[in-house]
Amino acid sequence: MAGFDGKVAIVTGGASGIGRETAVRLAAEGCRVIVADINSDQATETAAALATNSIGFNLDVASEQSWDDIMTCAENIFGGLDILVNSAGVGFADNFEDMPLENWNAMISVNLTGSFLGCQKAVGLMKKTGNPATIINISSVMGLVGGEDIVGYSASKGGVTLLTRSVALYCAGKGYSIRCNSIHPTYVDTAMLNPIAEALGSREVMLAGMAAEIPLGRVATPSDIATAILFLCSADAGMITGHQMVIDGGQLAGLPAQHSPG
């Protein structure tokens, strides 16, 4: 893919799952990556294994001070910022009527406020150089449709969807060469699914149940998602902004056949 060599990228949630795979793939294309995560040990470990000069960074996406610190780091150590991937996220499945307020607050502050702060602070630094830059927000299929047992998660990810469109329009309107797009994965086999696997007592049973909901017959891998992220970040996607890329094996395409004729 075009245009990655020597670029500077921040990947939040970079210590695990989709974020980690994205960091690996960006570095393989020549990006210098700031692997940012609240799990700083694992972020440092991830960065040390990358193909380019990269660092781990202890970032809490819900903290404005934390974002100010990482932008200072990007500017002072790497000379600016070309790519931000907002992948940090948390999810809780709850019965709506009993849902603890602390779960709601955690999902809104990490998933939505974290993405907002990331976009706001990244635009501030990216516009300084005027180079083409991109922001990717990881939403979810649940940011496009509702979910009966994940009301708070769906609300937070729906916010990320419209945050993305609005930031894309804002940047275009200001004449900044900054594109902003969102990614909407179905189930991805990462640590985020661990509580469900534990509740079911088997990862295989969980994955089989999830795969049965997906027309292509399998859950996504972090690599499926990272491939799409790299495309949207690349120069090849230079005309794409404010877009929602759905990676769901056909899950949201429509209703499955209910009855065969005859």
Contacting positions for ligand NAD (CB under 6 A): 12-13, 15-19, 37-39, 59-62, 87-91, 110, 138, 140, 185, 187-188, 190-193
- Dihedral, CA of residue 17, residue 19, residue 23 and residue 25, to nearest 10: 70
Q: 227 exposed, middle or buried (CB, 10 Å; 0-12, 13-18, 19+)? A: middle
Look up 153 and say whether it is catalytic: yes
| Least gap, CB of 158 to ligand NAD (angstroms) | 12
Give the closest residue to 137 by CA, choosing from 109, 153, 157. 157
Looking at beta carbons only, is 127 or 165 nearer to ligand NAD? 165
Looking at beta carbons only, is 131 or 227 nearer to ligand NAD? 227
| Least gap, CB of 60 to ligand NAD (angstroms) | 5
Distances (CA, A) of 213 to 32, 139, 252: 38, 19, 10
| Least gap, CB of 39 to ligand NAD (angstroms) | 4
| Least gap, CB of 119 to ligand NAD (angstroms) | 14
Looking at beta carbons only, is 38 or 168 nearer to ligand NAD? 38
Q: What SS3 string covers 164-210?
A: HHHHHHHHHHHCCCEEEEEEEECCECCHHHHHHHHHHCCHHHHHHHH
CA distance linking residue 86 with residue 119, whole number of Å:
8
Looking at beta carbons only, is 133 or 185 nearer to ligand NAD? 185
Q: What residues are annotated to the active site?
A: 153
